[in-house]
Amino acid sequence: MKRFERRVVLVTGAGSGIGRATAQAFAARGALVIAAGLGESGLAETQASIVRAGGRCETHPADVSDESAMHALAKAVHQRHDAVDVLVNNAGIGAAGRFLGTTPATWDRVWAVNVRGVMLGCKLFLPAMIARRQGHVVNIASMAGYFASPEMPVYAASKSAVIGFSESLRADLADKGVGVSAICPGIVNTNIIATTTAEGSAAPWQAGAVDFYRRRNYPPSRVAQAIVQAVEDNAALVPVTPEAWIGYHLKRLVPGAARALAARPLPFMKTP
């Protein structure tokens, strides 16, 4: 898929951060963007920014972890469009804290959004794409899915699952005209750290992490560019940010060094 004029692109978690930047990037290339997610004010801001730039955008509030809400979203979208051309499963939440300091409730909440939300998006929008033998699915994972700190067991598990699911789905759909890409960002300046559930040893350094991400200031727009490129190239897995690429190659070529490096605290961490 090299051009996006007259294409329909659905982005979940489109009210801020990578989701908003992705919606803007596809709209700038001529696509009709469907911005979905929680927070009607954020979705409205995304829509307004696209319209101001001369683009087209619809908004649909939806909680990706709620099956009935996702069925309602799919029904509303398919009443207006035969199928979406690009599905970007971006909605996600963060969690930090060593394994024994994390609660089962946190595991359930993160899994519901980061994994089940991706599954529901694919389950409900893929049949129409397959029927047309055309389309592309983008699942937003993370470098934590293959290069994880000991402070990120919940989040890393969820993003590793997204990578594995994307690989399996890509093989499944290879002969059906639908591509699948997993995008693995590293440290990107979004609000995910500020809204992360920080438990146990992670709680003391959350404020420092927010400041670190802000000062690093790797913009969501760069991730959005990588997402568009992944669709154009039908790329399977795309690390984004220098540290994501370094971690990816280290894990493949020097796994022992990768494990040692991943175990070291990040600059903003304060070990108890």
Q: Provide the β-strand partners of residue 191.
A: none
Q: Count of H helices and E strands in the chain?
A: 10, 9
How crowded is residue 249: how many other Cβ atoms within 10 Å of its Cβ?
12
Is residue 218 flagged as an active site residue? no
| Cβ-proximal residues to 135 (8 Å cutoff; 6+ apart), any chain | 83, 84, 85, 86, 87, 126, 129, 177, 178, 179
Closest CA to 159 of 173, 172, 148, 171: 148
Per residue in 130-164, is it b (16+ CB within 10 Å) or e — as a string? beeeebbbbbbbbbbbbbbbebbbbbbbbbbbbbe
> How far is 166 from 260, CA to CA, in rounded Å?
27
> How far is 48 from 88, CA to CA, in rounded Å?
20
Residue 229: DSSP 8-state: H
Cα 175–chain centre separation: 25
User: Of the residues 146, 155, 218, 248, which is catalytic?
Assistant: 155
Residue listed under structure tokens 């969690």: 95
> How far is 249 from 246, CA to CA, in rounded Å?
5
Active site residues: 155
